Structures are given as C-alpha cells and as structure tokens.
Amino acid sequence: MTELRTPKAPLATNALAALIQPSATMAVTARAKQLKAEGKAVLGFSAGEPDFRPPEPVVRAVQEYISAKAVKYAPVSGLPELRDAAAADLEKFHGRSFQRNEIMVSCGAKHCLANLMLVTLSPGDEVVISAPYWVSYPAQVELGGGTPVIVNASKEHGLRVQPEALERVLSPRTKYVLLNSPSNPTGVGYTAEQIRALGEVVVRKAPQAWFLCDDIYRHLTYDGFEQASAYRVLSDLTEQFVFADGVSKSHAMTGFRIGFLAAPKEVIAAAGRIQGQMTSGATTTSQIAAIAALTDPACAAAMDEMRAAFARRRALMLEGLGAIPGVSVPKPDGAFYVFADVSQHVGEGTQFVDDLALAKWLLDEKLVATVPGTAFGAPGNLRISYATDDASLREGVSRLHEAFASFPTARG
Ligand SMILES: Cc1ncc(COP(=O)(O)O)c(C=O)c1O
C-alpha cells in the first residue's frame, strides 16, 4: 500500500443538512413498504397520491414521443408549449392572462415552491402558514432562510383559519400568506366568502404581503364544492399573487414530477437561474405528458371518473370512521384525505403518549398505515388518505373500528 493513502476522514454534513428533518409522511410510507416486503398485509392509508393510472392520452403521448424522437434536454424553464398550456390552464381558473415568461415548469409543485422560497426569501422574512399544514411548507421556508409563522386553524371553525387569528400573526415582515385550498392534510376548502374575509385582513394589516396560492388540489372537490380562485375573489384589492399548480394530483401524474409556478417575470427568471444550476429543469418526456394532460380534451373523462371514485370513498370513510366512539371526522371538501380527531385516545390516562405512538401501534399491530397529525403541526389527529381501492378502505375501516374499540382508556 502506498504511503500517500489518506486515513479515513469522516465526510461531515453541514448546518443546512441538520436544519431539515425527513418528511414524516415519507417515513410512514417507508415503514409500511418495509412491512409489506416482509409479507405483511399492510393497508396503506398514508399515501399522498391518487391510486389511478394517468389518462390514456397522457400515456400515449409519452409512448409516441419516445418511439419517434431522441430524448434531449428541454429548455431550463420548460418547453414553450407546456408553459403556454399552463398559462392557458391558469387563465381559465383565475380569469387573468399569464405571459410565457411568468410561468416556470419544475419537478412537481414541491420543486416550484422550493425554488420560490430560495429566490425570494431573506432572513427576517415571514411566511404565514395555517396549521394543520402540508409537511413541506415550514421546511421549505427554512431552506430559503425565512421564518415560518404558524397560525392555528381550530376544529371549532372547521379547521379553517379565522380572520382574527390571521390578523394576530401578520406583521411588516410578512412576505407571504400561504393559502392551500383544498388542503393537505385536512381536505378542507375555503369558500369565496372565507377567502375574501382573510384577504381583506391581509390587505389592511400587511399590505406588502403576497398571497401564495397552492392550488394543487383545486380539481379534486366533491358534493358541489367548487374551489374559488383567490385571484378572482381579491383582485380588486391587490395584484400580489404567486401560484403553485400542476398535474400531479388532478391527472394522477405524481411520478411524472411536473408542476408550474406563476409569478412576476423577474422572479421566474431568478428561479430559472437556480433551476438551471440544480436540475436543468423537468424531464422532457414528463413535459410531453403534461402537455397532453392540459390540452387533450379526452383527459376530462378520466378526471371525472377519478373524482367520482374519490367522492364515493370519501362518503364511505366519513360513514365508517364517524361511527368509531371517541373519533370525530370533519367533512372535507376536496383532496383525498380525512383528518380524524383522535385526541380522546392519546395523552394522559390513555394507552398512547401521543398520536405518533398511536400511529405506530396501528401500523405495527393492525397493519394500517396512517400519518400522525404531529407531522402537520396538529397533534391529536391522524391523516387518513382514501387514495386506495374500496375493498382496502372497507377492510381498513373495520380494522380501525376493532382497534379503537379495544382501547380501554379513552377519555370521555
Ligand atoms: C399541498 C401540496 N402542495 C404541493 C404538493 C406537491 O405536489 P407535487 O407532487 O406536484 O410536487 C403536495 C403533494 O403532496 C401537496 O400535498
């Protein structure tokens, strides 16, 4: 052995690596997969993605493209056809036009939001996030060097943040007020009136703030609830909006990793510079797929079918879970989650210290994978996804019934 060989020095990770915790939803999914691999009949209620295939035109577009073409780099900010298709789709929803240079395509709405935080936040900037929140929001704000400011959306108000509560956390440092409707993890949607009431408070108390609308679930709504565009509701008061959107949930295309960000052109240009050095943009084949998703009218039938299935399953879950003593389930307006309040079954005087312990027990003992509310800033709850087939849902509900009935110590 040569004398020049180094001794083995550790490759240390840095402060940024220490800042970011792994996503709790991913952790549960990984544990559930591991149990499945061991041959256990795990029922996965933790998924954050539709259990459907993408619409046929999407599949066909990719197959034809790959058979006919060399698959090359796409422009960093997205194929022009996709940016234009996204602009047209957003225009339909928001009722305002978008130029191509106000739209950037990235690897999912998650990547859009992360890019936005990286190029717009500075130390001291605050982003107001209502809890229960999607797990990635606070982490992304921290990645961007900003400060997440959490405002609780209480159960008495249907898990919707109230204007008075919002007013208390707004400040001259508020950079964004995040609006995610319908919401992950609760499925709760805000009506036009509710958005108006929140918007008026923001414009009055923090006129410098921008609305950051994460509209990824806007197509998935039930029982006649139609998601209102915050822009349409508030554009007489302000033009300060950024939109994160995409095809992941609406078209069952999570694995394609395509999202789009709509923001002022200077922000899009800056995000493009970051993306150009990080990933060179989203994959070309996925962008071809997304163009088909947004432009082929034949996709509508598949989307309707998926929505109808989710509506049926939501009813099944509400009925089944609603009958479990000590568990209450607010009725969601959209997405594919219910957010069950299990607070009577956790904490002092019960068998579980908290919802994390309960979720772990349900997975290990009953083979039902749920996500503890703590992951979403709302301890004492479980997020239960119904993006799985009806038979598994029925079986899962029955296992949950049995489990909760076996807890001797629920507080009344
Ligand atoms: C609220 C919310 N926003 C954004 C995303 C990210 O979507 P994508 O898969 O397009 O990155 C998710 C995915 O779970 C989500 O729940």
Q: Where in the chain are the domains? A: 18-47+300-405, 56-295
SS3 content of the chain, % helix, strand, coil (to 5): 45, 15, 40
The pLDDT assigned to 24 comes to 64
C-beta 245 within 6 A of ligand 1: no
pLDDT band of residue 8 (cuts 50, 70, 90) is confident
Which atom of ligand 1 lies nearest, measured to the CA of 248? 10
pLDDT band of residue 19 (cuts 50, 70, 90) is confident
> Model confidence over 307-327: pLDDT tens digits?
999 999 999 999 999 999 999
The pLDDT assigned to 270 comes to 98
Instruction: Report d(CA 25, CA 29) in Å as an integer.
Output: 6
- Cα 212 to averaged position of ligand 1 atoms, centre (Å): 14
- Answer whether CATH 3.90.1150.10 is correct for domain 18-47+300-405: yes
The pLDDT assigned to 385 comes to 95
C-beta 334 within 6 A of ligand 1: no
The pLDDT assigned to 4 comes to 86
**Whose structure tokens read 């780099």?**
73
Site to probe by mutation for ligand 1, drawn from 137, 248, 337 as the one with most ligand atoms within 8 Å of Cβ, is 248
The pLDDT assigned to 27 comes to 72
Taking 90 as the threshold, does the pLDDT of residue 2 lie above it? no
Taking 80 as the threshold, does the pLDDT of residue 28 lie above it? no
**For strand 210-214 and strand 147-152, is the pairing parallel, antiparallel, or unpaired?**
unpaired
Site to probe by mutation for ligand 1, drawn from 136, 188, 215, 294 as the one with most ligand atoms within 8 Å of Cβ, is 136
Instruction: Report d(CA 165, CA 162) in Å as an integer.
Output: 5
Q: Whose CA is nearest to atom 16 of ligand 1?
A: 184
Taking 70 as the threshold, does the pLDDT of residue 25 lie above it? no
Say what the pTM is.
0.95
> Model confidence over 119-137: pLDDT tens digits?
999 999 999 999 999 999 9
| Under 8 Å between Cβ of 352 and 361 | yes
C-beta 110 within 6 A of ligand 1: yes
Taking 70 as the threshold, does the pLDDT of residue 29 lie above it? yes
Q: What percentage of the chain reaches a pLDDT higher than 90?
A: 89
Write the CATH number of the domain with boundaries 56-295: 3.40.640.10
Which atom of ligand 1 lies nearest, measured to the CA of 25? 14
